[in-house]
Amino acid sequence: MLSRSEVEAVAVKAITEILEEDGDTPPGISGEAALSDLGVSSLVFARVAIELEDELGIDPFKEHPGREADQRTVDDLVDTYVRALAEQGAG
């Protein structure tokens, strides 16, 4: 199973690359950064989730619809994936 820091690195990379593709230059991304402050719209969030599913092999939002609304910071997003990976490993 991936460590939390590895999941965070994948998430930060995905957010950064997608924002850059859209012509935005994201500030330094930390775990406490609010997704909205980074410029992560609902469309960008969906693209990030798709990228994370490709990279991590899991979609925590498929099993728990509505969980997307709880994702306010980078840490929230990372924690959601870490929990989903742990649940997958336990199952």
Segment 3-51, tens digit of pLDDT: 999 999 999 999 999 999 999 887 789 999 999 999 999 999 999 999 9
Task: Look at residue 91 and tell me whether its pLDDT is greater than 70.
Answer: no
Structure-block tokens of residue 76:
């929230």
pTM score, whole prediction: 0.91
Q: Indicate the number of domains in the chain.
A: 1
Q: What is the mean pLDDT of residues 68-74?
A: 90
CA-to-CA distance for 69 and 20, rounded, in angstroms?
A: 24
CA-to-CA distance for 49 and 81, rounded, in angstroms?
A: 10
Q: Which domain holds residue 67?
A: 4-90
The domain that holds 45 is classified in CATH as: 1.10.1200.10
**Contact yes or no for 35/48 (Cβ under 8 A):** no
Of 5, 80, 7, 14, the C-alpha closest to 45 is: 14
